[in-house]
Amino acid sequence: MRYALLNSNNVLMSIVEADDERELPPPQPEHWWSASCVVLPDHDPRTQVLRGPEDVLVEQPDGSSVFEQRFTIHARQLDDVQAEVVAAIKAEAARRILAIAPEWKQRNVTARAAELALQHPGTRGEDLPEPERTEWREGQALWDRIKAVRSASNAAEEAARAAGTAGEAWAALDAFSASS
């Protein structure tokens, strides 16, 4: 079960996993968890947000009423989820691209391609003389791998932006993350 540990102002300080309340840290004077402990409802933080705690007046079986602290679950705004998913896709794409070639290598390959184009104007890379042709092919192979990541990232971002639900947006990230 998940518990929210609250300070004396009902501000959420921590979330603790425990089988029951007896496993929680014992209340300590002068510590933030001395105020209260509230059971958190199950929710999916990717598509839902918890709000609260709020004091709710609850009628008891004997007819009396007591205040209980409760959290409420609300759906996350789709545009917020889409923005978060697109940012996560971009971050994963950047990580993959940098694993293929660090930025310094990308700059060097670009600079060398520009040099080759100036040295051999109007000549396609495959028509360059050796050893420049081999050098061009290696650089082009690197760019082809990077372009594949960019293409997959663009498709995943578009799917996330076009999603009609938060679950569909997250599915776009999951699919991109599962791809190689």
Report the Cα–Cα distance between both ends of the chain, in Å, rounded: 36
Mean pLDDT of 165-179: 94
Average pLDDT over residues 13-18: 61
Q: What is the structure's pLDDT at 82?
A: 95
Query: Is pTM, for the whole model, over 0.75?
Result: no
Q: Are 118 and 171 in contact (CB under 8 A)?
A: no
Question: By the 8 A CB rule, do 6 and 36 touch?
Answer: yes
The closest alpha carbon to 170, from 94, 75, 102, belongs to 75
* Of the listed ranges 3-12, 25-34, 84-93, the one predicted with least confidence: 25-34
Strands of the sheet containing 36-39, edge to edge, are 12-17, 2-6, 36-39
86-145 pLDDT per residue, tens: 999 999 999 999 999 999 999 999 999 999 999 999 999 999 999 999 999 999 999 999
Cβ contact 10:35 at 8 Å: yes
Task: Locate 136 and state its tokens.
Answer: 């061009």
pLDDT > 80? residue 76: yes
Please tell me the predicted confidence (pLDDT) of residue 32: 44
Rg (the chain; Cα; Å) = 28
